[in-house]
């Protein structure tokens, strides 16, 4: 039984890790979207040279600390909060998050159902042990008396 609880718990932990990984996976598209929206000349036309430069800026965001600071200040000037990249990544991952949420809910239900069954069995076993102990005490008292 301990093995089953462990397996179900690890399944739930795995689902939570996947949820975090999906959000991290969407950080690059989030940075790119924020760079496009915070461009001083407006959002560049897809496929244009400006759009290509925006993609290079997104790469620089992840490879250079100085570039990251520069772009974070650009996001702030455009009115975005300090955690704009994380928020945008979360929003972009919503479709995947819905599937993961269903998986997490199923894992939680399965774990809770198993724990409830375990509790029910333990209560039944405790009652049986109590009855056996009372019988033993009565039998010992009858023999002594």
Q: Is the pLDDT of residue 133 over 70?
A: yes
pTM of the model: 0.66
Alpha-carbon span 25 to 125, nearest angstrom: 48
Q: Which of 25-34, 41-50, 112-121 has the lowest mean pLDDT?
A: 41-50
CB 23 within 8 A of CB 86: yes
Rg (CA), the chain: 29
């Amino acid at each position: 039984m301990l093995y089953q609880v462990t397996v179900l718990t690890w399944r739930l932990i795995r689902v939570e890790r996947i949820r975090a990984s999906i959000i991290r996976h969407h950080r690059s598209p989030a940075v790119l979207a924020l760079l496009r929206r915070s461009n001083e000349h407006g959002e560049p036309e897809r496929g244009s040279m400006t759009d290509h430069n925006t993609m290079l800026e997104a790469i620089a965001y992840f490879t250079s600390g100085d570039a990251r600071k520069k772009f974070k200040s650009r996001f702030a000037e455009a009115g975005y909060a300090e955690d704009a990249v994380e928020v945008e990544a979360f929003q972009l991952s919503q479709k995947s998050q819905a599937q993961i949420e269903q998986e997490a809910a199923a894992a939680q239900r399965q774990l809770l159902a198993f724990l409830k069954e375990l509790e029910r069995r333990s209560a039944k076993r405790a009652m049986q042990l109590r009855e056996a102990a009372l019988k033993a005490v009565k039998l010992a008292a009858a023999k002594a008396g």
